[in-house]
């Protein structure tokens, strides 16, 4: 069982930190409420009055965000390959090219279907 | 445990680049290639021609992949179960090729349903991104927009379903799970009618699916911690020896059991066993009916294929540990789902619960943990797949009024046998097959799984199964009685004429249900281990290191 | 055939060794069934495209089956008698674990006789129907059902086990139901079809329970194994199985007390009445009893019941036949009566089996001929069925008159015609079976012979002789060749078949390997047939019956409407109050019991029996509550589920 001991210790420390910091914060912190502080956090977007479309974000935000993530992941895949480029040889090169081609096909789809146009 | 039908091997990492036998992977590569080309078609082919191109591409790819599967199974060595490929991550043996073949055939029939286009109106939304009921949506409907992305999405899902039961390590299996699931989440939200219902189904399926994936992944982590590998052969070896390199003293059992449990949760969710079944009725009802047919047939085959492989290969050595758990789940599934189904009033929900009960029946064969159980489960899945696609195909034809949505309410189906005898007759056959009446495929399937469970000493489970069949037979027969002996309802449904595609899907369903019931021997003989070529238990154990 | 050979065969056990079929003809005898089945499938699935040629296909396929059956018969005759029983494996239905389900056929003298009758008479009736149904716009469907019937009937008689037999049994029931109600636009036809369906269900339940009993007792339902073990099972059990088989036979063969559907079944098209409700399907009960001979041998009480039921039905049917004015119903009464003869003979044990089957075969010919004749008359008379509107038709329809006349002579047992040979066989077997019971059965058979002569003469006179009592718009004419040719062929059979079968003990010897032989057999020699006192008595009663009918209907004018009837006639016209008895004895008390039970049920049993159903429904409603539709609830359920799963695994630590 001693193998699990560190896990339990870590879990206990984590839980303790959360509880302690919340308790200390509520006791020690000054409480001066105003209008802005009582509002929900929406990253600068006014919760009321709601924007057009019943509070929806336009889908273009998501498209851009997804595109960002896709290329982000592409870069992350490229890193280890780049580090061991010489050892992986032709096999690694072909594999990586195929991966890039696949990503670009999806990119081509988004581009052709107007996913990149911001009106 | 002796499962000479399944192959497994551990990877050997070498300096040299791996030699991959692409020939054995070709069924998957063809489907994947077609899916990628499908995306390009979406990008570059004019909208008016897309549907024809996509449909031809998808059907051709699935058919070609099926032919390749047949060729592969013919070329597998006669003296062994098969081979593993790509660092031991994919197993190509008779079981996986049979399951892939089933997925492809059932996928082909589902594609026929998906392709049905009645006066330019398919089962799918004209523009899924438009707010339901909005002006924008109306414009798209008037313009006759179509989401031809459906075809590449289905192909990607089929790719995942092909890989899922063939995966030979947990990470490949997880990737396959996601490749299979993500397109399905999307497809569920594309219904043309009752859009909000459909979107709700998609979100529910996605949320709960993600939840279950988390369990699955967490379980993989536990097993990795226990065995020091995610490869099935190495996990199997660790299980047999009582622990991986880290736990030479045998102290890792909690990790293993927790891993088995959490992985089981992920897989049982996909097959829809109680208590992980809640999504099924809601999703089956909300999704476009052709997609429901796809999920009820292909997904079930793939998910059970993966479940069988996981419990038979990596966890095969601890059957005594997991069998009681599957007993509990199987009994809960067969009893609760059958009972709840009794009071269902919507045909799609009823079929969803019926699918849950059938999952319980197949689980009895998994519990058997024997080659006969494996064969029985696979036969059951293939047979059930054809029948259920046929049943959902019938559902697509019964509408509340001409050009109206599907008439889901069972009360509206009263007297259908008088107004549309052929259609009602086909549905009656499917329902009798669900109930397991002799001369239908359902009877042979039930007989095979119960026989396997019986031989493995799970008699109580078989008793529960038979009782549950009796309860389910009650509500299947009730529908038949309603259709043929009740007076037609005043607000009776309109039966739209079956187009070529739907008609073929129903005809294939009827033919398969009947043929597999009257002459199942060729399929059964293919699945059951032949007495002469039995390999004994050694195969699972000693194939390590023979990676392609 | 040498006498020594015969004795050799007779000495063997009732069921000779069954050998594996060899040779192309016997091995492929599944084609007998497949051919008409394919016909039905093509016609039903082919739709309107097959309208123009479908009926000819439907005629050709049973004919091909008949040809195949003849070929199989020739093969069989080429083998020594004790080897004439062939098992024909068709295929392995499925084989799972240690369980093999084989589908195989049994070809032996008994089954091949039936196959020949079914395909032979069946083909003739198919040909006849081409003419008879020429103007029906649902002709294609009619022929599809006829083919379906032939296929199902062949499954019934060729099966080598009770399960397959039951499949055929249900198949013929379905075909019969579809064909009785073929003219569903007529309410009476729809009602008659429903009635036949319901009454037959009672019989089918009996057969099904018998099969289940056999399976639980012997662990198999194959004829060979069941008959082999029948002697060892308890007497009480075998009696139960025998009585249940008899119940099944009564339903299919319209024997008392399940006879009521047959007269109503005459609502179907006449070729159907000829094929299904006279020549073949209704004889399935007799087949079942003869085939299950070993079961009845082990249960004497059940066997005696069979004979009693047969004797009672033969008299009841004859009495009903005497009073009916509807030509088809009169013939239907006659069918009941004749099948009663066969059932009675089958209940006499081995001594009567050959006689029963021989009579069944000849009856198939002359009764089919009579029905086709009746159909021909109706065809010429605008579908009029009331014999009081016929009269003097012999001039207008000479061929029909001649063929009907030969069938008539055959059925009343005119010496040297088919019916005489085979009915004498039954009468002789009854008297020879010995004891008081034998005397009673023999007397019933003799009385039946006299009644048969009376009612058939009545039919004959009212239809073909006397004054014309036609409706004003009737223009009787002879039917087309497609109808008359089958009638002529059947008439030839009615004349000659009996002698061919019975003379020289040929047929009984042929059947022996399948049904066994009596300890001492009745010699069917011409001399004994003409001089023994039962034969002479039968002849005398026959003459008396004919003469009575002649005095009542030939000498006197026949009224165009039925005169007021005495007590007996009224009873006979009302089918001896069979329906009323059913209603009074079964339906009403049944309803009373049901009502009482329902009251009892709601008050007492509800908690037990009905309670299961209710509790399933209630728990179903309750569980449905768990399906809230909220993803959060589902996720929570999953979490609990995961806890259960982990907990069941955790106990293994």
B484-507 tens-digit pLDDT: 877 777 777 888 888 889 999 999
Q: What are phi and psi of C19, to 5 degrees?
A: -105, 155
Which residues 6+ apart lie within 8 Å of C518 measured at CB?
C349, C350, C351
> What is the distance, to the nearest Å, from the Cα of residue B231 to the centroid of all Cα atoms in its chain?
24
**B18 close contact with A: CB closer than 8 A:** yes
**B451 close contact with C: CB closer than 8 A:** yes
Q: Is the pLDDT of residue C577 over 50?
A: yes
C499-536: per-residue pLDDT in tens?
A: 777 766 677 777 777 777 665 555 555 556 667 787 88
Chain B nearest-CA distance from A20, in A, is: 28
Q: Position of tokens 């087309």?
A: C480
Q: Position of tokens 């309109």?
A: B494
Q: Is the pLDDT of residue B509 over 60?
A: yes
DSSP 3-state assignment of B82?
strand
- Chain B positions in Cβ-Cβ contact with residue A3 (cut-off 8 Å): 246-247, 251
Of B284-288, B403-407, C291-295, C539-543, which gets the smallest average pLDDT?
Answer: B403-407
Give strand ranges (E) for C67-126. 86-96, 99-107
- Chain A positions in Cβ-Cβ contact with residue B44 (cut-off 8 Å): 108, 112
Q: How far apart (Å, rounded) are the C-alpha atoms in residues B362 and B379?
A: 10
**pLDDT, greater one: C434 or C296:** C296
Does the N-terminal peptide bond of residue C100 adopt cis geometry, omega within 30 degrees of 0? no
| Contact in structure between B516 and B436 (CB atoms under 8 Å) | no
Q: How far apart (Å, rounded) are the C-alpha atoms in residues C394 and C404?
A: 10
Chain A nearest-CA distance from B262, in A, is: 19
Q: List B residues 508-537 in contact with C (Cβ-Cβ < 8 A).
A: 518-521, 524-525, 528
Neighbouring subunits of A (3+ Cβ pairs under 8 A):
B
Q: Which pLDDT score is estimated for B548?
A: 30
Q: Is the dihedral of CA B163, B169, B175, B177 positive or negative?
A: positive
Q: Which pLDDT score is estimated for B379?
A: 93
Q: Is the pLDDT of residue B62 over 60?
A: yes
Range picked from B199-213, C310-324, C415-429 for highest mean pLDDT = B199-213
> What is the distance, to the nearest Å, from the Cα of residue B259 to the centroid of all Cα atoms in its chain?
23
CA distances from C484 to B177, C53, C125, C407 (A): 73, 21, 11, 14
Confidence of residue C354 (pLDDT cuts 50, 70, 90): confident
- Chain B positions in Cβ-Cβ contact with residue A53 (cut-off 8 Å): 131
Which residues 6+ apart lie within 8 Å of B500 measured at CB?
none
Q: Is the pLDDT of residue B543 over 60?
A: no
DSSP 3-state assignment of C44?
helix
Among B282, B342, B448, select the one facing C96 at the smallest CB separation: B448
Tell me the mean pLDDT in the region C234-243: 87
Interface contact flag, B281 C619, Cβ < 8 Å: no
Interface contact flag, B372 C617, Cβ < 8 Å: no
DSSP 3-state assignment of B324?
helix
CA angle, B18 then B20 then B26, to 5°: 160
**A52 close contact with B: CB closer than 8 A:** no
Does the N-terminal peptide bond of residue A49 adopt cis geometry, omega within 30 degrees of 0? yes
Q: Which has the closest alpha carbon to B502: B392, B413, B346, B403?
A: B392
Among B42, B129, B246, select the one facing A59 at the smallest CB separation: B129
Question: Which residue in chain A is spatially nearest to B253 when comparing CA positions?
Answer: A1
Q: How far apart (Å, rounded) are the C-alpha atoms in residues B125 and B127?
A: 5
Q: How far apart (Å, rounded) are the C-alpha atoms in residues B200 and B287?
A: 9
Among B207, B253, B262, select the one facing C653 at the smallest CB separation: B253
Chain A nearest-CA distance from B40, in A, is: 6
**A113 close contact with B: CB closer than 8 A:** yes
Give the distance between the most distant pair of CA atoms in chain A: 65
Looking at chain B, how many residues does it have? 548
Mutate to test the interface with B, among C101, C645, C651 (most CBs of B within 10 A): C645
Q: Which pLDDT score is estimated for C14?
A: 43
Of B520-529, C145-154, C359-368, which gets the smallest average pLDDT?
Answer: B520-529
Other residues' Cβ atoms within 10 Å of the Cβ of residue C579: 16
Interface contact flag, B43 A59, Cβ < 8 Å: no
Mutate to test the interface with C, among B207, B218, B265 (most CBs of C within 10 A): B265
Are A and C neighbours with ≥3 CB pairs closer than 8 A?
no
Q: List A residues 57-76 in contact with B (Cβ-Cβ < 8 A).
A: 59
DSSP strand pairing (C19-20 vs B494-495) = unpaired
Among B257, B336, B519, select the one facing C91 at the smallest CB separation: B519
Interface contact flag, C620 B215, Cβ < 8 Å: no
Q: Which pLDDT score is estimated for C12?
A: 38
| Whether pTM exceeds 0.80 | no
Counting runs of H as helices and runs of E as strands, what totals does chain A give?
A: 4, 0
Q: Which has the closest alpha carbon to C245: C298, C296, C312, C199?
A: C296
Q: How far apart (Å, rounded) are the C-alpha atoms in residues B396 and B18?
A: 48
Q: Is the dihedral of CA B126, B127, B132, B136 positive or negative?
A: negative
**pLDDT, greater one: B310 or B81:** B310
Q: Which pLDDT score is estimated for C5?
A: 38
Confidence of residue C584 (pLDDT cuts 50, 70, 90): low
Query: In which region does residue B119 sit, left (phi positive, over 0), alpha (psi from -120 to 50) or beta (all else)?
Result: left
Interface contact flag, B40 A59, Cβ < 8 Å: no
Q: How far apart (Å, rounded) are the C-alpha atoms in residues B331 and B461?
A: 7
DSSP 3-state assignment of C14?
coil
Q: What are phi and psi of A54, to 5 degrees?
A: 70, 40
Q: Is the pLDDT of residue C3 over 90?
A: no
What's the token pair of residue C319? 């009495």
- Chain B positions in Cβ-Cβ contact with residue C44 (cut-off 8 Å): none
**B430 close contact with C: CB closer than 8 A:** no
A65-98: per-residue pLDDT in tens?
A: 888 888 898 999 899 888 888 888 888 889 899 9
**A27 close contact with B: CB closer than 8 A:** no
- Torsion (CA) C236, C242, C244, C245 in degrees, nearest 10: 160
Tell me the mean pLDDT in the region B391-409: 87
CA angle, C370 then C371 then C372, to 5°: 95
Of A2-16, B528-542, C18-32, C153-167, which gets the smallest average pLDDT?
Answer: B528-542
- Concatenating the DSSP letter of every residue in C296-311 gives HHT-HHHHHHHHHHHH
Per 3-state DSSP, what percentage of chain C is helix, strand, and coil (rounded to 5)? 75, 5, 20
Q: Which has the closest alpha carbon to C179: C135, C129, C131?
A: C129
Q: How far apart (Å, rounded) are the C-alpha atoms in residues B74 and B68?
A: 10
- Chain B positions in Cβ-Cβ contact with residue C95 (cut-off 8 Å): 521, 524-525
Of B343-347, C450-454, C562-566, which gets the smallest average pLDDT?
Answer: C562-566
Neighbouring subunits of B (3+ Cβ pairs under 8 A):
A, C
* HEC per residue, C502-570: HHHHHHHHHHHHHHCCCCCCCCCCHHHHHHCHHHHHHHHHHHHHHHHHHHHHHHCCCCCCCCCCCHHHH
Q: How far apart (Å, rounded) are the C-alpha atoms in residues C393 and B364?
A: 73
Confidence of residue C1 (pLDDT cuts 50, 70, 90): very low
Task: Give the residue extent of every domain in chain B.
Answer: 6-542
> What is the distance, to the nearest Å, from the Cα of residue C652 to the centroid of all Cα atoms in its chain?
64
Q: Which pLDDT score is estimated for C7?
A: 35
Q: How far apart (Å, rounded) are the C-alpha atoms in residues B237 and B247?
A: 13
Q: What Rg value do the Cα atoms of chain A yield, rounded? A: 24
**A106 close contact with B: CB closer than 8 A:** yes
Looking at chain C, how many residues does it have? 653
**B325 close contact with C: CB closer than 8 A:** yes
Q: How far apart (Å, rounded) are the C-alpha atoms in residues A36 and B329?
A: 52
Q: Is the pLDDT of residue B27 over 90?
A: yes
What's the token pair of residue C441? 């059965």
Confidence of residue B384 (pLDDT cuts 50, 70, 90): very high
Which residues 6+ apart lie within 8 Å of B224 measured at CB?
B170, B230
| Contact in structure between C255 and C339 (CB atoms under 8 Å) | yes
What's the token pair of residue C375? 């159909």
- Chain B positions in Cβ-Cβ contact with residue C653 (cut-off 8 Å): 253-254, 257
- Chain B positions in Cβ-Cβ contact with residue A112 (cut-off 8 Å): 42-44
Q: Is the pLDDT of residue C605 over 60?
A: no
Q: Is the pLDDT of residue B364 over 90?
A: yes
Quote ipTM for the complex.
0.88
Counting runs of H as helices and runs of E as strands, what totals does chain C give?
A: 29, 3
Are A and B neighbours with ≥3 CB pairs closer than 8 A?
yes
Are B and C neighbours with ≥3 CB pairs closer than 8 A?
yes
Q: Which pLDDT score is estimated for B538?
A: 28
| Contact in structure between C293 and C397 (CB atoms under 8 Å) | no
Among B215, B257, B525, select the one facing C642 at the smallest CB separation: B215
* Burial class (CB within 10 angstroms; exposed 0-12, middle 13-18, buried 19+) of B334: buried
Q: How far apart (Å, rounded) are the C-alpha atoms in residues B545 and B542?
A: 8
Q: Which has the closest alpha carbon to C460: C417, C400, C380, C413?
A: C400
| Contact in structure between C94 and C61 (CB atoms under 8 Å) | no
Q: Which helix (H) or strand (E) holds B83?
A: strand B82-85
Q: Which has the closest alpha carbon to B468: B358, B323, B385, B388?
A: B358
Beta bridge partners of C308: none
B408-462: per-residue pLDDT in tens?
A: 888 888 888 878 888 999 999 999 999 988 889 999 999 889 988 988 888 899 9
Q: List B residues 30-89 in contact with A (Cβ-Cβ < 8 A).
A: 36, 39-40, 42-44
Q: Is the pLDDT of residue C8 over 50?
A: no
Interface contact flag, A3 B36, Cβ < 8 Å: no
Interface contact flag, A91 B18, Cβ < 8 Å: yes
**B372 close contact with C: CB closer than 8 A:** yes
DSSP 3-state assignment of B298?
helix
Angle of the B150-163 helix axis to the B22-44 helix axis, nearest 10: 160
């Amino acid at each position: 069982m001693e193998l699990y001991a560190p896990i339990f210790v870590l879990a206990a420390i984590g839980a303790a930190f959360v509880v302690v910091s919340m308790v200390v914060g509520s006791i020690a912190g000054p409480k001066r409420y105003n209008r802005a502080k009582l509002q929900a956090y929406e990253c600068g977007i006014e919760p009321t009055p709601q924007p057009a479309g019943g509070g929806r974000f336009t889908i273009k935000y998501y498209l851009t965000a997804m595109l960002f993530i896709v290329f982000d992941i592409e870069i992350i895949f490229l890193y280890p390959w780049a580090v061991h480029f010489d050892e992986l040889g032709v096999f690694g090169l072909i594999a990586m090219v195929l991966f890039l081609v696949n990503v670009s096909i999806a990119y081509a789809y988004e581009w052709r279907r107007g996913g990149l146009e911001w009106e | 445990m002796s499962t000479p039908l399944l192959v497994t091997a551990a990877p050997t990492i070498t300096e040299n680049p791996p030699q991959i036998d692409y020939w054995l992977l070709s069924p998957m590569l063809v489907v994947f290639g077609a899916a990628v080309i499908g995306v390009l078609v979406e990008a570059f082919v004019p909208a008016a021609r897309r549907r024809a191109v996509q449909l031809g591409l998808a059907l051709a790819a699935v058919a070609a992949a099926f032919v390749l599967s047949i060729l592969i199974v013919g070329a597998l060595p006669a003296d062994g179960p098969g081979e593993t490929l790509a660092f031991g991550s994919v197993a190509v043996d008779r079981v996986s090729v049979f399951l892939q073949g089933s997925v492809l055939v059932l996928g082909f029939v589902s594609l026929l349903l998906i392709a049905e286009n009645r006066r330019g109106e398919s089962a799918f939304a004209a523009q899924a991104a438009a707010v339901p009921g909005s002006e924008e949506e109306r414009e798209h409907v008037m313009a006759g927009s179509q989401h031809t992305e459906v075809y590449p999405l289905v192909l990607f899902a089929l790719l995942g379903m092909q890989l899922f039961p063939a995966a030979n390590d947990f990470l490949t299996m997880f990737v396959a799970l996601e490749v299979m699931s993500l397109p399905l989440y999307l497809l569920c939200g594309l219904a043309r009618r009752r859009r909000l219902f459909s979107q709700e189904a998609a979100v529910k399926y996605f949320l709960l699916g993600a939840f279950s994936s988390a369990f699955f992944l967490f379980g993989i982590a536990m097993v990795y911690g226990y065995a020091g590998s995610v490869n099935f052969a190495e996990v199997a070896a660790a299980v047999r020896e009582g622990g991986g390199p880290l736990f030479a003293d045998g102290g890792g059992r909690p990790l293993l059991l927790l891993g088995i449990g959490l992985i089981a949760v992920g897989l049982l969710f996909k097959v829809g066993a109680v208590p992980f079944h809640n999504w099924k009725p809601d999703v089956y009802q909300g999704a476009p009916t052709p997609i429901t047919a796809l999920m009820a047939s292909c997904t079930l085959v793939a998910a059970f294929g993966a479940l069988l492989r996981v419990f038979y290969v990596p966890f095969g050595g601890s059957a005594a540990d997991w069998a009681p758990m599957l007993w509990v789940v199987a009994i809960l599934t067969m009893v609760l789902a059958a009972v709840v189904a009794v009071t269902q009033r919507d045909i799609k929900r009823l079929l969803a619960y019926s699918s849950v009960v059938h999952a319980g029946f197949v689980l009895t064969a998994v519990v058997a943990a024997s080659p006969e159980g494996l064969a029985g489960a696979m036969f059951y899945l293939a047979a059930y797949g054809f029948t259920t696609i046929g049943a959902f195909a019938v559902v697509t034809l019964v509408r509340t009024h001409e050009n109206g949505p599907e008439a889901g309410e069972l009360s509206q189906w009263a007297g259908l046998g008088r107004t549309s005898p052929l259609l009602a007759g086909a549905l009656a056959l499917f329902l009798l097959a669900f109930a397991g009446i002799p001369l239908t495929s359902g009877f042979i399937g039930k007989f095979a799984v119960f026989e396997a469970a019986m031989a493995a000493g799970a008699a109580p489970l078989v008793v529960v199964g038979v009782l549950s069949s009796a309860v389910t037979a009650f509500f299947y027969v009730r529908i038949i009685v309603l259709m043929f002996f009740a007076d037609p309802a005043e607000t009776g449904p309109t039966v739209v004429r079956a187009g070529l595609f739907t008609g073929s899907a129903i005809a294939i369903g009827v033919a398969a249900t009947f043929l597999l019931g009257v002459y199942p021997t060729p399929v059964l003989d293919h699945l059951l281990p032949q007495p002469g070529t039995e390999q004994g238990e050694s195969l699972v154990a000693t194939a390590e290191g023979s990676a392609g | 055939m040498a006498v020594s050979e015969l004795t050799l065969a007779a000495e063997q056990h009732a069921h000779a060794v069954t050998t594996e079929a060899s040779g192309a003809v016997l091995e492929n005898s599944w084609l007998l069934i497949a051919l008409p089945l394919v016909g039905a499938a093509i016609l039903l699935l082919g739709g309107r495209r097959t309208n123009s040629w479908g009926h000819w296909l439907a005629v050709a396929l049973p004919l091909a089956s008949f040809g195949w059956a003849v070929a199989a018969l020739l093969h069989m005759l080429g083998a020594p008698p004790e080897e004439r029983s062939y098992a024909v494996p068709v295929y392995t239905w499925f084989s799972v674990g240690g369980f093999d389900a084989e589908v195989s056929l049994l070809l032996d003298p008994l089954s091949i006789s039936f196959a020949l009758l079914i395909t032979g008479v069946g083909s003739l009736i198919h040909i006849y129907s081409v003419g008879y149904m020429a103007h029906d716009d649902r002709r294609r469907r009619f022929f599809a059902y006829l083919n379906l019937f032939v296929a199902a009937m062949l499954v019934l008689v060729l099966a080598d086990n009770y399960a397959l037999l039951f499949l055929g049994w249900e198949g013929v029931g379905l075909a019969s139901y579809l064909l009785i109600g073929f003219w569903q636009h007529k309410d009476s036809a729809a009602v008659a079809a429903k009635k036949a369906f319901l009454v037959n269900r009672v019989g089918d339940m009996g057969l099904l329970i018998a099969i289940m009993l056999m399976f639980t007792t012997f662990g198999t339902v194959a004829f060979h194994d069941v008959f082999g073990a029948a002697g060892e099972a308890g007497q009480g059990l075998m009696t139960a199985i025998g009585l249940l088989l008899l119940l099944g036979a009564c339903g299919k063969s319209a024997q008392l007390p399940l006879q009521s559907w047959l007269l109503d079944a005459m609502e179907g098209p006449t070729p159907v009445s000829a094929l299904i409700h006279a020549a073949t399907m209704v004889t399935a009960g007799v087949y079942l009893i003869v085939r299950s001979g070993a079961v009845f041998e082990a249960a004497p009480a059940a066997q005696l019941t069979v004979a009693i039921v047969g004797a009672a039905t033969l008299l009841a049917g004859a009495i009903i036949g005497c009073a009916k004015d509807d030509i088809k119903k009169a013939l239907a009464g006659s069918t009941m009566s004749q099948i009663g003869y066969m059932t009675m003979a089958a209940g006499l044990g081995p001594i009567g089996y050959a006689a029963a089957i021989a009579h069944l075969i000849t009856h198939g010919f002359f009764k089919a001929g009579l029905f086709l004749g009746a159909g021909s008359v109706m065809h010429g008379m605008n579908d009029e069925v009331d014999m009081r509107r016929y009269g003097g038709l012999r001039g207008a329809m000479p061929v029909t008159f001649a063929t009907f006349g030969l069938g008539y002579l055959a059925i009343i047992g005119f010496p040297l015609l088919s019916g005489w040979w085979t009915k004498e066989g039954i009468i002789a077997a009854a008297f020879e079976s010995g004891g008081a019971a034998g005397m009673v059965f023999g007397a019933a058979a003799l009385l039946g012979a006299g009644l048969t002569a009376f009612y058939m003469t009545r039919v004959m006179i009212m239809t073909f002789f006397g004054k014309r009592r036609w409706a004003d718009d009737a223009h009787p004419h002879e039917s087309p060749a497609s109808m008359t040719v089958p009638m002529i062929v059947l008439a030839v059979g009615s004349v000659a078949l009996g002698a061919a079968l019975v003379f020289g003990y040929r047929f009984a010897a042929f059947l022996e390997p399948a049904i066994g032989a009596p300890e001492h057999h009745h010699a069917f020699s011409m001399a004994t047939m003409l001089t023994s006192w039962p034969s002479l008595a039968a002849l005398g009663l026959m003459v008396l019956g004919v003469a009575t009918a002649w005095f009542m209907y030939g000498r006197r004018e026949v009224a165009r409407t039925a005169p007021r009837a005495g007590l007996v006639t009224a009873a006979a016209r009302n089918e001896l109050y069979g329906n009323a008895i059913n209603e009074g004895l079964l339906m009403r008390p049944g309803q009373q019991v049901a009502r009482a039970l329902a009251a009892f049920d709601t008050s007492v049993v509800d908690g037990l029996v009905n309670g299961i159903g209710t509790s399933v429904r209630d728990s179903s409603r309750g569980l449905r509550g768990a399906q809230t539709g909220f993803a959060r609830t589902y996720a929570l359920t999953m979490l609990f589920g995961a806890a259960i799963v982990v907990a069941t695994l955790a106990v293994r630590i």
